[in-house]
Amino acid sequence: MQISRKKHHFKFKNKLTWTKHTLKYGSLGFKIIKCICIIDKQEEFLKLLIIKTLKKITNSKGKILFYSNQFYNKTKLPLESRMGKGKGEIICSFSYYKTGFILFELKGFDLIDALKLKTYLNNKKIIKFSLIY
């Protein structure tokens, strides 16, 4: 499924008291501790890292539910362009996640396996997570 990419202006207010997300489908969830901006390549790397580490940690077959969305596009004009020529070409898409956003949920995994995954991901220093159950 190909999503049409539009050029948006980035209008977002940083609120640190936002805690509206709760678990929807899974029994364990990973909540983001700090506000962060992630580009699409970093998000794909994070998904692959989560899947590979869960295969190493546990033998149980469960589901991983990702709640990621790339709404914003990063644009850049060529080097020697003058003003009034528009916004430029789309380089990559990114998403901005607030504090308290549940990035992914686990369904069918043990709490011990989720704790091991949380410590592994927090040691990688990509994103800091807290565990919700």
Q: How many CA atoms lie within 13 A of 85 on its CB side?
A: 11
DSSP code of residue 10? -
The model's pTM: 0.73
- Identify the CATH number of the domain in which residue 95 sits: 3.90.1170.10
The residue segments making up the domain with residue 93 are: 28-71+86-132
pLDDT tens readout for residues 49-79: 999 999 998 888 888 888 877 778 888 888 8
Q: What residues form DSSP beta bridges with 64?
A: 106
- How many residues make up the chain in this entry? 133
Residue 3 has pLDDT above 90, yes or no: no
pLDDT tens readout for residues 6-56: 666 655 555 544 545 678 888 899 999 888 888 889 889 999 999 999 999
Residue 14 falls inside a structural domain: no
Domain count, the chain: 1
